């Protein structure tokens, strides 16, 4: 599938909630626990969007993953601010959303898939 979505979150329960929220956007929604697991999966499956927790990944990781894997990235954080949003976008992320704001995350995914 060309439109797989991968979720990397530090909280397994939050990852499950996000998975349920984004499932209507793609038949392939997968959860990973590390950047290494994300990279390994990317070599096996076509990933279009990654939902990445900024408590796990750095802005440098975002830039590297974007460049190496060519995926759209939606960053999440429990309390994103304007500085974090700007840094995420500067690193190549499509958006940076509060990790509990599933409607904003879904909207960013839809927009990135349409881009």
pTM of the model as a whole:
0.95
Neighbours of 98 (CB within 10 A): 13
Domain 4-114 belongs to what architecture? 3-Layer(aba) Sandwich (3.40)
Structure confidence by residue, pLDDT tens digits, 63-112: 999 999 999 999 999 999 999 999 999 999 999 999 999 999 999 999 99
Using pLDDT thresholds of 50, 70 and 90, give the confidence band for residue 2: low
- Residue ranges of the domains in the chain? 4-114
Q: What is the pLDDT, as a whole number, of residue 1? A: 44
Question: Which contacts qualify for 50-53: CB closer than 8 Å, 24 or more apart?
Answer: 50/5, 50/6, 50/7, 50/8, 50/74, 51/5, 51/6, 51/7, 51/8, 51/9, 51/18, 51/22, 51/76, 51/105, 51/109, 52/8, 52/76, 52/93, 53/8, 53/9, 53/10, 53/11, 53/77, 53/99
pLDDT in tens, 10-42: 999 999 999 999 999 998 999 999 999 999 999
pLDDT band with cut points at 50, 70 and 90 for residue 3: confident
């Amino acid at each position: 599938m060309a439109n797989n979505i991968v979720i990397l979150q530090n909280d397994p329960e939050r990852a499950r909630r996000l998975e349920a929220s984004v499932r209507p956007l793609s038949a392939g929604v997968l959860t990973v626990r590390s950047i290494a697991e994300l990279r390994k999966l990317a070599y096996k499956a076509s990933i279009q969007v990654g939902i990445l927790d900024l408590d796990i990944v750095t802005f440098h990781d975002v830039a590297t993953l974007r460049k190496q894997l060519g995926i759209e990235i939606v960053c999440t954080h429990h309390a994103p601010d304007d500085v974090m949003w700007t840094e995420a976008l500067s690193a190549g992320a499509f958006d940076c959303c509060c990790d509990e704001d599933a409607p904003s995350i879904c909207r960013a995914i839809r927009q990135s898939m349409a881009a």
